[in-house]
């Protein structure tokens, strides 16, 4: 009788384990093979900081030779704010998951094809203050108190590939970075870092070379997991911060989880007016719930 009970328990445990693993399997969300972006899956999202000018921007699906498939192509050229030599400003272009409230993992194949960063002679900024990148991520939970349609107290995590200045890297070398922050105002314009102050470096990738990026929220272990390709996972934990992670994010659409390109540029009065530029593609978007 004891042996039968033991076997029964092992079988039940095995079934539960298989069920748990199956529930965590990555499923294809979008590979952008339709004629147009799917309105049931995405919302458009773009913004240009005050004083900046975006004259060239695009968001479309097209055949991508380097990926050998159809993909989402994003590009933007943003001119810096030219009435100041202090601080930086930000512009972005991308798409947001229509409902990201249950998403725990985002996976994407990302290809950065062109990138240009300005360096201002009269506004020498710190590393990561000038940064052009393609990234995935969003808000995953709120530490409370929660405000609807606000990032206040949301925990925001991202992984991206791009380039920052100053740098001694060759012109065709990009880095994959990951970061987790706690938003301290409604726009998440002010944040408190979780882990290190600067983004964590996950290694390099060459311009015009695709890279698979993954971000996973692991609430059972109070951490986020990041991965570049098949490289070792990088974990950023928040157990020591005293956060409750049981509330949904306040940001819209279940955390404004997104695929995005972003220009973070120095305000600068140099002539001719400086600009940042990025052209990147995203494909094979997978998620877990």
Peptide bond into 272 cis (omega under 30): yes
Q: What is the pLDDT of residue 87?
A: 93
For 224-258, b/e burial (b = at least 16 CB within 10 A) is bbbbbeeeeebebebeeeebebeebbbbbbbbbbb
For 113-143, b/e burial (b = at least 16 CB within 10 A) is bebebbebeebebeeebbbbbbbbbbbbbbb
pTM: 0.91
Distance CA 127, CA 145 (A): 33
Spell out the CATH class of 27-288: mainly beta
The bridge status of strand 223-228 relative to strand 234-237 is antiparallel
SS3 annotation, 72-92: EEEEEEEECCCCCCCCEEEEE
In the beta sheet, which residues pair with residue 40? none
Element (H, E) at 242: none
The C-alpha angle 261, 175, 243, rounded to 5 degrees, equals 75
Distance CA 107, CA 17 (A): 23
SS3 content of the chain, % helix, strand, coil (to 5): 10, 50, 40
Q: What is the pLDDT of residue 145?
A: 97
Q: Are 132 and 117 in contact (CB under 8 A)?
A: yes
**What backbone torsions phi and psi does residue 150 show, to the nearest 5 degrees?**
-140, 140
Distance CA 179, CA 195 (A): 8
Alpha-carbon distance values, 224 to 2, 14, 143, 194 (Å): 41, 26, 15, 10
Distance CA 142, CA 183 (A): 9
Q: What is the pLDDT of residue 129?
A: 86
User: One digit per residue, pLDDT tens: the chain, 289 residues?
Assistant: 444 334 334 433 443 433 333 347 999 999 999 999 999 999 999 999 999 999 999 999 999 999 999 999 999 999 999 999 999 999 999 999 999 999 999 999 999 999 999 999 999 877 788 999 999 999 999 999 999 999 999 999 999 999 999 899 999 999 999 999 999 999 999 999 999 999 999 999 999 999 999 999 999 999 999 999 999 999 999 999 999 999 999 999 999 999 999 999 999 999 999 999 999 999 999 999 9
Report CA torsion sign: 27, 30, 33, 35. positive
Q: Are 234 and 212 in contact (CB under 8 A)?
A: no
Report CA Rg, the chain: 20
| Residue ranges of domains in the chain | 27-288
Distance CA 104, CA 41 (A): 16
Q: What is the pLDDT of residue 125?
A: 79
């Amino acid at each position: 009788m004891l042996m039968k009970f033991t076997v029964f328990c092992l079988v039940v445990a095995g079934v539960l384990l298989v069920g748990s693993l199956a529930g965590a399997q990555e499923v294809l969300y979008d590979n952008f093979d339709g004629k147009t972006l799917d309105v049931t899956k995405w919302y458009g999202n773009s913004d240009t900081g005050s004083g900046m000018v975006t004259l060239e921007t695009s968001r479309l699906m097209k055949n991508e030779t380097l990926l050998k498939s159809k993909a989402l192509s994003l590009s933007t050229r943003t001119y810096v704010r030219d009435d100041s030599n202090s601080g930086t400003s930000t512009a972005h272009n991308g798409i947001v998951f229509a409902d990201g409230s249950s998403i725990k993992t985002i996976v994407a194949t990302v290809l950065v094809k062109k990138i240009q960063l300005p360096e201002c002679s009269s506004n020498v900024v710190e590393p990561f203050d000038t940064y052009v990148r393609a990234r995935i991520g969003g808000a995953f939970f709120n530490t409370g108190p929660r405000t609807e349609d606000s990032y206040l107290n949301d925990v925001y995590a991202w992984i991206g590939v791009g380039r920052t200045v100053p740098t001694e890297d060759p012109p065709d070398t990009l880095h994959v970075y990951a970061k987790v922050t706690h938003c301290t105002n409604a726009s998440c314009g002010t944040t408190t870092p979780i882990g290190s102050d600067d983004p964590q470096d996950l290694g390099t990738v060459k311009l015009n070379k695709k890279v698979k990026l993954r971000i996973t929220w692991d609430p059972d272990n109070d951490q986020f997991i990041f991965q570049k390709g098949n490289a070792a996972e990088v974990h950023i934990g928040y157990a020591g911060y005293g956060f409750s992670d049981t509330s949904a994010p306040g940001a819209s659409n279940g955390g404004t989880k997104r695929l995005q390109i972003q220009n973070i540029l120095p305000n600068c009065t140099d002539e001719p007016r400086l600009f940042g530029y990025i052209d990147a593609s995203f494909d094979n978007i997978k998620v877990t719930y």
